[in-house]
Amino acid sequence: MSVGLLFSGQGTQHPQMLNWLDDSHPLLRQMTSLLGVSNWRQALDDPTWATRNRHAQVLLTGVALTAWAQLSAGLPTPAAIAGYSVGELAAFAAAGVFDADIAMALAVQRAEAMDRAAAQSPGGLAAVGGLGAPAVAALCRATGAAVAIRIAADTVVLGGSTAALMDAEPRALELGAKWSPLKVGLASHTPAMSPAAQAFATVLAGMALKRPTTPLFSNTDAGRIFTAEQAARALATQIAQPVQWSGCLEAVHARQPACVLEVGPGSALAAMWNRRYPEVPARSCDEFRSARAVIDWVARLAR
């Protein structure tokens, strides 16, 4: 038995996230340089700066990979790895597809490609809970919004233009849904991002990726990633296609981990897991005060 790893996506970054990270770690220094700031935690005090797409994607990738670098030697080989949206960059690096330095460079290129696409098609994301698939499909047809992330049978994230989301919100509320705008300033994982997916595919085509050394699951319909070619295709296509997060959770659960660890800020993914699979405990690295405490928790369960 072992541990499953889930790498966080955008929206949960905060100034005190993973406050046990080693500030002198080379990956954090590289991340800070890419961000062009002297102190990334202080920079996060500015909500506008913190939610800017390029900043968030580099932050999530750098922080997650630094955490994994500090934890990996003390943890068992993962039973499965998956990443949520941009969390795939850190997940694919943890699974051996490319190294951490490349993952951070890719975070910059991914974010910049998405920002260029967003400049042509401005939009955003909103979480919608309590609607079944037929109601969600009807809502999308009526408003022009699109499903960006499939979380559960009655929970999705919708993406679209500002006008589409403004139209969709009162319609969803009238149907009894819960509506929560996300701190993401573009319509990720929708057709609006097709130019970004194409641009990122070109970037990845020029790189020598490797096959995963650990069971790795993609946000796309591809499911498990076995080859470098599959990895490149999945990383690019997920930018403009719905994230199949429900399927990722099913795939990780099927590997029978003894526990699940969310690597990144916040605990949104751990909470999703615990609601779905309460018999397999999940916690986030952000809940602990030290790397040692994380390792000890996993060791008690993953025997």
Residues in the chain with pLDDT < 50?
A: none
Domain chopping of the chain, boundaries: 3-119+190-301, 123-181
Secondary structure class of 283 (helix, strand, coil)? strand
- For CA atoms 103, 107, 110, 113, the dihedral sign is negative
The pLDDT value given to residue 55? 95
Helix, strand, coil share of the chain (percent; to 5): 50, 15, 35
The pLDDT value given to residue 1? 61
Which tokens go with 209? Answer: 């990726």
5's CB contacts (< 8 A; 6+ apart) are 68, 78, 80, 81, 82, 91, 94, 260, 261, 263
CATH class of the domain defined by 3-119+190-301 = alpha beta
The superfamily (CATH) of domain 123-181 is Malonyl-CoA ACP transacylase, ACP-binding (3.30.70.250)
- What pTM, to 2 d.p., does this model score? 0.94
The DSSP symbol for 155 reads E
Geometric angle at alpha carbon 8, from 173 and 166, rounded to 5°? 25
Q: What is the pLDDT of residues 86-143, one digit of tens each?
A: 999 999 999 999 999 999 999 999 999 999 999 998 999 999 999 999 999 999 999 9
Task: Measure CA of the first residue to CA of the last residue in the chain; give whole Å.
Answer: 6
The pLDDT value given to residue 302? 78
Strands (E), the chain: 3-7, 80-83, 124-129, 146-152, 155-160, 178-181, 216-217, 224-225, 259-263, 282-284
138's CB contacts (< 8 A; 6+ apart) are none
The pLDDT value given to residue 206? 87
